[in-house]
């Protein structure tokens, strides 16, 4: 009887060890990234939670206390290629089942002037492109080996329908830097998908919907959804992805959209 119990306990331990999966999330200290970290940890996954701050963000320290042993906080600014390559080397031998390229900037909802025709601030273009577009490309390139070696082999970028050509009809005013950077990211995702298809890696763009995050403050508009709903939906989408879905764009509710 004792032996049977021991065997059952061992089997549970082995299954738990075998099933433990890993997700790496960029920009995980707030908003959508933080909710991804929370929901994956709640599923028992190992979460490599990355941020760009000079000190560990309080939000992630709190999450680590809530999920002991599951949250691994790492510094990684997605525009700092030395830092990205450094973390990729540090994690050599660690498989990453799901890579969530989430870090991004949107702009100030209360002050859209720098991205409005007639008052465009051209100095902002580079930041948007370096973070939103090149960031996603470099992260995928640096961690492709870790993803290839995993079971789920999945890379997703948190993009936006605002970065597609057909969204809201033939015209769509304003938001120059953001929309162009997400359109570029979508194109990179499609190209990376082509390059990694032979390795069985699924690469997809995800649209989270319009999600109410802390940085929006008291801004409110119809259609805003809570992070729990958006991220819960995106995790379900990620779980349902197969290699036939590579190079495509999906909403958090599972709808596929053309680029």
Contacts of 47 (CB under 8 A, 6+ apart): 22, 23, 25, 28, 37, 40, 41, 67, 70, 71, 72
Query: Is residue 215 part of the contact set for ligand NAP (CB under 6 A)?
Result: yes
Residues 227 to 246 in contact with ligand NAP, rule: CB under 6 A: none
Radius of gyration for the alpha carbons in the chain, expressed in angstroms and rounded: 19
What residues form DSSP beta bridges with 89?
A: none
Told to check if 247 binds ligand NAP by CB under 6 A, we report no
| Shortest distance, position 120 Cβ to ligand NAP, whole Å | 19
158 near ligand NAP, judged by CB under 6 A: yes
**Binding track over 99-138 against ligand NAP, x by CB under 6 A:** ---xxxxx------------------------x-------
Q: Does position 32 bind ligand NAP by CB under 6 A?
A: yes
Q: Taking the complex as a whole, how short is the minimal distance between the CB of residue 66 and ligand NAP, in angstroms? A: 18
Burial class (CB in 10 A: 0-12, 13-18, 19+), 34: buried
Q: DSSP code of 148? A: H
Helices (H), 116-226: 124-128, 135-148, 176-196
CB of 50 to ligand NAP, least distance (A): 7
- Between 20 and 90, whose beta carbon lies closer to ligand NAP? 90
211 binds ligand NAP (CB under 6 A): yes
| Beta-strand relationship, 249-251 and 256-257 | antiparallel
- Compare residues 191 and 216 and give the one whose CB is closer to ligand NAP: 216
Of residues 210, 229, 257, 259, which one binds ligand NAP by CB under 6 A? 210
| Residues paired with 99 in a beta bridge | 24, 155
For the chain, what is the total number of helices (H) and then of strands (E)? Answer: 8, 8
| Shorter beta-carbon distance to ligand NAP: residue 160 or 246 | 160
Report the relative pairing of strands 22-25 and 249-251 from DSSP bridges: unpaired
Nearer to ligand NAP (CB atom), residue 31 or residue 247: 31
Binding site for ligand NAP (CB under 6 A): 26-27, 29-33, 52-53, 77-79, 102-106, 131, 158, 160, 208, 210-211, 213, 215
């Amino acid at each position: 009887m004792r032996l049977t119990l021991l065997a059952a306990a061992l089997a549970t331990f082995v299954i738990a060890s075998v099933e433990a999966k890993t997700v790496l999330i960029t920009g995980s200290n707030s908003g959508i990234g933080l909710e991804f970290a929370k929901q994956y940890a709640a599923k028992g996954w190992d979460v490599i939670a990355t941020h760009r701050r000079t000190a560990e963000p309080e939000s992630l320290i709190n999450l680590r206390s809530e999920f002991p042993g599951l949250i691994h906080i790492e510094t990684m600014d997605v525009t700092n290629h030395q830092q990205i390559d450094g973390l990729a080397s540090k994690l050599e031998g660690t498989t990453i089942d799901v890579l969530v390229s989430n870090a991004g900037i949107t702009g100030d909802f209360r002050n859209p002037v720098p991205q409005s025709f007639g008052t465009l601030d051209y100095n902002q273009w580079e930041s948007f492109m370096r973070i939103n577009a090149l960031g996603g490309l470099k992260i995928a390139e640096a961690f492709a080996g870790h993803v290839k070696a995993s079971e789920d082999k999945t890379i997703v970028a948190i993009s936006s329908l605002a970065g597609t050509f057909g969204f809201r009809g033939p015209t769509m005013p304003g938001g120059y830097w953001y929309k162009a950077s997400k359109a570029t990211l979508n194109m990179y995702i499609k190209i990376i998908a082509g390059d990694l298809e032979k390795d069985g890696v699924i690469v997809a763009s995800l649209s989270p919907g319009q999600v109410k995050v802390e940085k929006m403050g008291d801004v409110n508009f119809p259609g805003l959804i809570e992070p729990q709903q958006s991220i819960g939906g995106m995790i379900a989408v990620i779980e349902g992805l197969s290699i036939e879905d590579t190079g495509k764009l999906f909403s958090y509710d599972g709808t596929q959209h053309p680029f």
